[in-house]
Structure formats: structure tokens, C-alpha cells
Structure 1
Amino acid sequence: MTQTLQLDGATRVLAIVGDPIAQVKSPAGVSASLQQQGRNAILVPSHVSPANLDAYVKGISLAGNLDGIIVTVPHKFAMFAQCSSTSDRARRLGAVNVMRRNADGSWHGDMCDGAGYVAAMREAGCQPEGKRALLVGAGGAGSAIALALLENGVSELAIHDADTSRRDQLIARLSAGFPGQLRIGSNDPSGFAIAINASPTGMQASDPLPIDASKLDGTMFVGDVITAPAVTPLIESARALGCQTVVGGDMFAAVRELMLDFLLAQGPLAR
């Protein structure tokens, strides 16, 4: 039986903000999950450009029934500055992907992408401890995944990003806590047990493969953060070789649970 969506003047509102936003699948799933738990709440997508982000946050924060914001590309670093308090991992990365109201109406942020991705990896049979990992992409999701891989015991992490400044900043930021474990990588996965694409390369059919698939072998674990298409050409190539894989949908299912736990921890949604 299809559940009727509850939507009335008492509905609590969450927003998901990004640019673009049409690709996100979370509004329906998160709204359904909240209402199945008996909470009168919905998640609404907001398409906001970087130039308008500050004005958007100032305006939407005036809504008394707005309890949280989920943050997607490209705003995870910029939204960190909108938070008056954050979790330790968000502070370490300078990025957030979810925000909830403090008692005074300000925002408290967290970054769940990395923990969610490693949870999805473990669910798929990959144990990162002691393994060498290649990560392509040093943006918001990539930064969080890098930290989570290191916290979960990879022996070495190589990071590759076309934006070399962003790559170098991430390596420098994380090296303080994990000395000697990080280095500059490339798109060549040779010698790595784990290869993950955390860049947007692969969203368009014309995109090149973010990782050189000719250098993959069936013993490797290959992941991608992209949710549309559901199975990227990189993952198709990896599966053809017999690799264990995680797709963006697997990651988001795990991240969604962590974000909901965070959003429901306090405030009107917790009741």
C-alpha cells in the first residue's frame, strides 16, 4: 500500500542544496523515511549557485520550521563557513554535508560522506585495513573519504586531482594527523588494492574514465561516488574484470542513515 505523504502547516522542512540539483535522488527517500517514523517532515531540493549561496542561507534561515540542510556539490566547503559549530571531522576537513539547528537558531554541521562510504565498502566485502588505496578527487566527498580511509587503517593513500592546488592542500591538511601515509597519485591504479573515483568525471557520457581501466585487475576493489548514471563506465569496466565494487547509490544509502541520525539527534525532529 502506498503511504500518503503528510504535508500541512505543521510540516517540518529540510532542504538539500546544490548546483546542479536535478540529479539528486534523496528528497523522496528521506521524506518517506521520516514519515514512516511518524515525523511530519519533508526534504525539499534547492538549486542555488555559488554566487547566491550566502543570500540563500540568510533567507532560508528565517523560516522557523526549517530544521536542517543537506549539502551537495559544489557547496560542501562553502557551507562550512555558515556553521557556528561543527563535528571534529567536519572541522578537520573544513567541509560539511549536513547541518542542523542549534538552540539559538544557528547551524551545527557534520560531514558524513567518508564514514558512509567506508560503511558501504565494508558491506560490499572490502576491509580497508592495511591496504594501499588510490583516491581520485579531492573535493568535498573526496576529502571526507580520504580522512575516513586513513582513520580506518589504510597503509597508504595516494590522491589524484586535476586541480593540483586542491590536491596538495588536502594532502597537507591530512598529513599532520597521518604522517608518511599520503602521497600524490595519478589515474593509474597499478599496485593499489583499492581505487575510488570521488570526482564528478563520469557523470556525462562524453567523460573519459577517471581511473585507467586498462590497469585494473580482478583483485582490486573499485568504487565510484557518482549516482547518475547508477553504474558508471568505470564500474562497468571493473565488474567485467571481476572486481568487487561500490556505486554511488550504495554510498548514499549509508550516508543517508548517518545524516538522518544527525538530523534527528536534537531539535523538533527528535521529538
Structure 2
Amino acid sequence: MSNTDKYAVLGNPIEHSMSPLLHEFFAQKTGQELCYGRILVEAGTFEKTVRDFFKNGGRGCNVTVPCKLDAYKLADSLSDYAKAAGAVNTLKVMEDGSIYGDNTDGRGLVYDLKRLSCPLTDASILIIGAGGAAKGILLPILNESPKEIVIANRTVAKAQSLASLYPGKVKGCGFDELDCSFDLIINASSSSLSGELPPVKDEIIEKAQAVYDLMYSKTAQTTFTQKASSLNVPKVSDGFGMLIGQAILSFELWRGVKPDFDTAIKKFRPC
């Protein structure tokens, strides 16, 4: 086992992470030999934990909260997506021993939105929330050439600051300023974690063709997707497919082979 390439997911808390199940399934389906575990990172120990892991045969790792900024700082080189997100969720040891950082979250989202046939190109898109999750998905969505992206947030200045990273392409505003309809609404806030609804008017939600919540639930329904379903939005989804998508892209970065998205979805969410 000592010669087997090692991978892991690092974060705190970490025991709930599905990453080992996903990557072991990917390895089995693509004929790759590896082992994948979970590593709890105590406060202030991220760099030492990662370097020790790599020293002992680790070839790459996924990084979850609250360590994505630490991973960004640790990486010797960064993908354009990691630079745009200002955070890293995937690390890889390169042939020269340097550490490469990527962020696959936003592309994982776009992957799933396309699978679900949600409007992207020439679409009017509302993103709820202006934190790290919203920042991480902006560049991949902009690459799909939407008509407009509006970021709505309780703290208007935060939404405007995030929008200013892409002048002329993204607009930031407060919830009370929303007065038009959107083809796609993405909840990038953490409201569903606490069972709350973001303050978006029903008449805006019900006009959408698709609603997507970055959070995911075992029941496949979050507070926000339940609301959208009750308003008869045609396409409603939580973020489980994004979880699968970002993991597939990490696996591809490490192993050079791409697991099948639909096979993984059917395995882990058969309904």
C-alpha cells in the first residue's frame, strides 16, 4: 500500500465529507489505483499538515472550509480559476515537486447547469450573495457568455465590490433594487444552511426558467429550492451535481482521466 498514490480531503469539520466515496468510485470506474482519506485540520496547522501529507506519499488533495484561502497562499502556482476565485479547492504535486493550486467549484457548477439544460448563454442571471462562493463561480459563468449577471446582497457595497472585478459585465445591487426578471437564479448565499430564505420577491423567483442552490441536501431539497418549486419554477436543483462536477475535475487534474458525470450522479443520487 505504501507505493499507492495517496489523496485526501482536508478541512474542519471533515467527517461528513463525501469526497472519499466519490474518488474511490471514480478510481474504480477508471481503473486507477489510489487511496483517498479525510484529514482534520486544526486551526493554524494547514501548511504543516499539507506538507507532511505530501512528504509521506500524498500526490494531491481537495480542500474544503475553512482552508481554501490557506491553500491559495500555499500553492506555488495557480490556475486562472483559482486566481479569479481567490481560493483553492484542489492541490496537486507537480513533477518538479512544486504545488499547483486550482479551483474547480465554478466549473463544477457550470458542468451541472449544462447537464440540467439551464439557461447560460445570452441568459440574464441573478446571483444571490457576494461571498467566496459567489466569487468562485463568476469567471466560469462569464465564460458561457451570459447577457447579464446581477449580484444581489444585503450589504450592497460587497455586491458592488465583487461586480467591480468584471467592469461592464457584472452589476452589484441590494435586494430592494431587484425589479426585473431573470432566466436563471443561483443562490450562492449560506441561507439554506440555516433554513432561511434570501429576501428575493416571489414574483422575481416565479419568472425564472431555472433556480439552483449551491447548497445541497440529502432530501434533494433546500429551503430555497422548496420555495422555487412551490412557485412552479420549471427547473429547480440543489448543488449536489456541482459537488460531483468539481470532484470529477479534481480527479482529472490528478490522474489525466475524466470519470463519467451521469454514472456518478446515478450512483450517489439515484432518484
- What TM-score results when the alignment is normalised by the length of structure 2? 0.82
For the 8 Å contact 2:84–2:135, the answer to whether it is kept is no
**Cα gap change, 1:210 to 1:26, in 2 (>3 Å):** farther
Q: Deviations over 1:198-235 (max 9, x none)?
A: 2322123xx31135362411543111111234320111
Structure 1 match to 2:124:
132
Structure 1 match to 2:186:
196
**Cα gap change, 1:26 to 1:210, in 2 (>3 Å):** farther
5 Å matches for 1:190-269? 190-204=180-194, 207-210=195-198, 212=200, 214-215=202-203, 216-217=205-206, 219-229=208-218, 230-243=220-233, 244-265=235-256
**Cα gap change, 1:169 to 1:14, in 2 (>3 Å):** farther
Write the letter of the residue equivalent to 1:221.
Answer: A
Unaligned segments of structure 2, at least 5 residues = 258-271
Write the letter of the residue equivalent to 2:246.
Answer: V
Unaligned segments of structure 1, at least 5 residues = 1-7, 267-271
2:90 pairs with 1:98: yes
Offset of residue 237 of structure 1 = 1.5
For the 8 Å contact 1:135–1:158, the answer to whether it is kept is yes
Q: Percent identity?
A: 26
**In the aligned structure 2, how far is the partner of 1:81 from the partner of 1:19?**
18
Q: Deviations over 1:64-116 (max 9, x none)?
A: x2011112223223311111112222223322211111122221111111112
**In the aligned structure 2, how far is the partner of 1:250 from the partner of 1:97?**
16
For the 8 Å contact 1:117–1:251, the answer to whether it is kept is yes
Offset of residue 46 of structure 1 = 2.0
**In the aligned structure 2, how far is the partner of 1:73 from the partner of 1:194?**
26
For the 8 Å contact 2:6–2:58, the answer to whether it is kept is yes
**In the aligned structure 2, how far is the partner of 1:66 from the partner of 1:165?**
41
**Cα gap change, 1:163 to 1:100, in 2 (>3 Å):** farther
**Cα gap change, 1:98 to 1:139, in 2 (>3 Å):** farther
Structure 2 match to 1:77:
69
Structure 2 match to 1:17:
10
**Cα gap change, 1:132 to 1:218, in 2 (>3 Å):** closer
Counterpart of 2:141 (choices 149, 152, 158) is 149
Offset of residue 130 of structure 1 = 1.7
Structure 1 match to 2:34:
41
**In the aligned structure 2, how far is the partner of 1:162 from the partner of 1:223?**
19
Write the letter of the residue equivalent to 1:239.
Answer: S
| Number of aligned residues | 252
Which range moved further: 109-118 or 190-199? 190-199
Q: 1:158 aligns to what SS in structure 2? A: strand
**In the aligned structure 2, how far is the partner of 1:187 from the partner of 1:109?**
34
Offset of residue 146 of structure 1 = 1.4
